Structure formats: structure tokens, C-alpha cells
């Protein structure tokens, strides 16, 4: 794993921009509603994340934190 | 693992009222990131509009002076003239800037006021329910142009950057879009450049941002981004429209 993302599901509005733009198709919608009434985005931790941060770049809610391995 | 991105400090840790996928939220975030990176949080003053961004003061954690509909560039002129050392920017929609506020905007631009305008072009009046804006496209269906805008009835869309480029005052005018990762990066770079123009007291700067309004466009967020790239950007060409070396 080269990177990982952490999504603040309480802030997410399920707009799916992160899902649409993730080059690795690593993000999907949860089937659990959040307190706002949206199905929030969720990272597929079984897949490889580049830590590219494109999801965070597009996220309107600033709900995504991006982590990357130091070596990259 | 090292954290390489998290919520900017200048964006309050509250949920914003904007619709899912709304461009205003992305633009607020970019402004907050720049305020952090350029160390401007303590000296920036924003003049928000009437429009969906009317509550910007609840989100971007800086001083704000709310303006009546369309008057943001006039209010920003006053603020900047009495506080020339502060970074003063207005934040306006297309209804606010290009309809009711056209006179204020053009004259502030013509006077070369040392202010920055963040102009959010989403081709509709968002807040009031998706009425036609001066920037609505030919053929675009809105609540007040239910059969589509026509040149004969409403005239063609107004290109604010090109209009202002004819005036002597503006130093930097660029049109960008927040419809793709590359577009979001360019938008941030353009706002940064506009702030730098103001810091160097180099005259009026405006960044026009093509921005999705998925709710009133009746599209999801991804389709809204595609519509900007494939349709809207044809009417509103992206790029630097005017640049006077500062
Ligand atoms: C003097 C006055 N006239 C009309 C209104 C109603 N009004 C509020 S916001 C708005 C237009 C908003 O559209 P836009 O500026 O494009 O911003 P958006 O909501 O799309 O971000 C109008 C007409 C008002 N608040 N004040
Ligand atoms: S971009 Fe942000 S708000 Fe939209 S679905 Fe992804 S995490 Fe949620
Ligand atoms: S109506 Fe449009 S501009 Fe207003 S918050 Fe919703 S998506 Fe954004």
C-alpha cells in the first residue's frame, strides 16, 4: 500500500465526485445512511491506494484526509 | 504513513448548507487552503453576496462584511480604501455580479480598485430556485426560460471577463472551472495569482469560475462536471483573458 484515505462520513453528502474521479476506482457508496441522511462514500481498504489525493481535491465537503508512504 | 492532505484551518469545522456536489463548497475550500498557505487568515476580509454563498461567513474563518444583492464590489471598494493593507475580496454569483450588480462590478473594475473578485458562474440563480441568469446558455431551460433561452427573447449570455477586458482598470482576468481535478488545481492557482496581484497593489483582479449547480441543472455531480467541460466551456472559453504585468 502506497497511501490511504480517511473519509469523515459525518460530513459526506454522497455526491460521488470522489468515486467518479478516483483513478483506481477505490471508493464506493456505503449502504449505511449517515446522520444527514446521505449514503456516504467509503474507501475499499482491500484495494491499492496511490495516495494521489484526487478524491480530496474534488471533495466539496473537505471530508477526505490523505496519507502517503514516506518513500513515495 | 504521512498525512499529506486534511481540511484547511481557515475552513470552519462545520457542515456547509450547500447541495451535494455544489461548486461553491469546492471554491470555499480552495480559498481557505490559500489563506492558510499564504498566511492571510488574519488580514483577509471577504464581502459575500446575496445568493447561495450568503452564509460564507459561517464557513470561511475570516472577517466578512455582508453586502446587499449586487453591491459587493462597491462595499469591497469602501473596505479596501479604508483598510488598504488588508486583502479584500468579494465573492459573487452570476446573478449578483452580472445582473443586479453589473454597474457596481464594471465601475469597480474600470476604476482599477485593488480588490479581487471571486465570480462564481453557475449559469443560473441558484438560491432562488434556478431562474435564468445573464450567463445562462442559449437553449438552457430554467424556471424562467422553460422553453430554453433564445437570443431573440433574452439576448446572448454575457461573458464577464471579455466585457471587463475592454476596460482600462482590470489587471488580471482569468476564467477557470472546478469540473475536474486539473480544473480545480488551475482554479486554486488563478485565485492565488489574483491575491498576489492585489498584494502588489496592481489593480483589479477577477477570477471567473465555471461551477456546478447540480440541483438546478437537474443533473448529478459527475454529469454537471461533464456539462461544464462539454457545453459551458464552449460558450465561456477557459484561460487568462487579460493580464497586465505587475
Ligand atoms: C435586492 C434583491 N433582489 C432580489 C433578491 C433575491 N435574490 C437572492 S439571491 C438571488 C440570485 C442568486 O443568484 P446568483 O447570484 O447567481 O448566485 P447563486 O445562488 O447561483 O450562487 C436573488 C435574485 C435579493 N436578495 N435582493
Ligand atoms: S466527494 Fe466528499 S462529499 Fe462527495 S461522496 Fe466523496 S467524500 Fe462524500
Ligand atoms: S442551489 Fe446550486 S448553487 Fe445553490 S447550493 Fe445548491 S447546487 Fe449550490
C-alpha grid cell, residue B110: 474600470
Contact at 8 Å (CB) between B158 and B123? no
A52 min Cα distance to partner chain B (Å) = 9
Domain of A61, CATH number, reads 3.30.70.20
User: Which pTM was predicted?
Assistant: 0.98
Distance from Cα B176 to the centre of ligand 1, integer Å = 22
Q: Say if strands B87-93 and B44-47 run parallel, antiparallel, or are unpaired.
A: parallel
B184–A57 CB contact, under 8 Å: yes
A62–B11 CB contact, under 8 Å: yes
Domains in chain B, please, with CATH? 24-243 (3.40.50.970)
Instruction: Give the domain extent around A47.
Output: 2-69
B186 near A CB under 8 A: no
| Cα gap B66→B56, rounded to integer Å | 9
Instruction: Measure the CA angle with vertex A29, ends A28 and A34; round to 5°.
Output: 145
ipTM of predicted assembly, 2 dp: 0.96
**B146-195: per-residue pLDDT in tens?**
999 999 999 999 999 999 999 999 999 999 999 999 999 999 999 999 99
C-alpha grid cell, residue B69: 444583492
Q: Which of A21, A58, A66 sits opposite B4 (nearest CB)?
A: A66
Contact at 8 Å (CB) between B29 and A60? yes
User: Residues 57-86, chain B: which have Cβ within 8 Å of A?
Assistant: none
**A7-51: per-residue pLDDT in tens?**
999 999 999 999 999 999 999 999 999 999 999 999 998 899 999
Query: How many domains would you assign to chain A?
Result: 1
Amino acid at each position: 500500500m502506497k497511501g490511504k484515505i480517511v473519509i469523515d462520513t459525518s460530513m459526506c453528502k454522497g455526491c460521488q465526485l470522489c468515486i467518479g474521479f478516483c483513478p483506481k476506482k477505490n471508493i464506493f457508496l456505503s449502504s449505511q445512511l449517515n446522520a444527514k441522511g446521505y449514503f456516504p462514500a467509503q474507501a475499499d481498504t482491500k484495494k491499492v491506494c496511490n495516495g494521489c489525493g484526487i478524491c480530496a481535491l474534488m471533495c466539496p465537503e473537505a471530508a477526505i484526509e490523505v496519507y502517503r508512504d514516506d518513500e513515495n | 504513513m504521512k498525512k499529506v492532505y486534511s481540511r484547511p484551518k481557515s475552513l470552519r469545522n462545520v457542515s456547509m448548507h450547500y447541495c451535494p456536489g455544489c461548486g461553491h463548497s469546492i471554491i470555499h475550500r480552495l480559498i481557505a487552503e490559500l489563506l492558510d498557505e499564504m498566511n492571510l487568515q488574519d488580514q483577509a476580509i471577504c464581502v459575500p453576496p446575496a445568493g447561495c454563498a450568503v452564509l460564507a461567513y459561517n464557513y470561511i474563518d475570516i472577517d466578512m462584511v455582508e453586502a446587499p444583492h449586487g453591491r459587493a464590489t462597491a462595499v469591497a471598494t469602501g473596505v479596501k480604501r479604508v483598510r488598504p493593507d488588508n486583502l479584500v475580496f468579494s465573492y459573487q454569483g452570476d446573478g449578483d455580479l452580472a445582473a443586479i450588480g453589473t454597474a457596481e462590478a464594471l465601475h469597480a473594475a474600470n476604476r482599477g480598485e485593488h480588490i479581487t473578485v471571486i465570480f462564481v458562474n453557475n449559469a443560473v440563480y441558484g438560491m432562488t430556485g434556478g431562474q435564468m441568469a445573464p450567463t445562462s446558455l442559449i437553449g438552457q431551460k430554467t424556471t424562467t426560460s422553460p422553453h430554453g433561452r433564445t437570443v431573440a427573447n433574452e439576448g446572448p449570455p454575457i461573458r464577464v471577463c471579455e466585457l471587463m477586458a475592454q476596460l482600462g482598470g482590470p489587471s488580471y482576468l482569468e476564467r477557470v472551472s472546478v469540473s475536474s481535478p486539473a480544473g480545480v488545481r488551475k482554479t486554486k492557482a488563478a485565485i492565488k495569482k489574483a491575491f498576489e496581484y492585489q498584494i502588489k497593489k496592481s489593480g483589479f483582479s477577477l477570477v471567473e469560475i465555471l461551477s456546478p449547480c447540480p440541483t438546478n441543472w437537474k443533473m448529478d455531480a459527475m454529469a454537471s462536471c461533464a456539462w461544464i467541460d462539454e457545453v459551458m466551456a464552449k460558450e465561456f472559453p477557459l484561460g487568462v483573458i487579460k493580464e497586465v504585468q505587475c
